[in-house]
Amino acid sequence: DRTWQALGIASECLGWTRADLLEKLVESNQGHFPYYPNCEEVSRDADPIISKKPINQDNLEILTETVLRELKYGKQSSYYKVAKKALKRLIELSSPL
């Protein structure tokens, strides 16, 4: 359930559906999954999924604040905190290494 919620939050921030987000993840992984028996083994130290387009971190932070305001939860709400944590992680993963 938490994974599904995180996918929902991440896809909403990008203006996509969960299906679009999953499709992008599969495309960027070239259809190779380490636990699927018919696929080639993926090295454990492979680079994380990185967008080919540069992502503006300032825009992501502004979008994060907008999404959090739209939730209409108080800042002490557990839902607010989970959403904020997921969005923060999304920004961390999208930042250049």
- If one compares 95 and 17, the residue with the highest pLDDT of the two is 17
What CA–CA distance (Å, rounded) separates 9 from 11?
6
- Note the pLDDT of residue 49: 52
What CA–CA distance (Å, rounded) separates 64 from 87?
6
Q: Domain residues of the chain, as ranges? A: 2-94
Q: What is the pLDDT of residues 9-38, one digit of tens each?
A: 888 887 888 888 788 877 776 655 555 454
Which residue's entry shows tokens 């492979």?
46
CA angle 70-6-85, nearest 5°? 70
Q: What is the pTM of this model?
A: 0.41
- Note the pLDDT of residue 61: 84
- Note the pLDDT of residue 52: 55
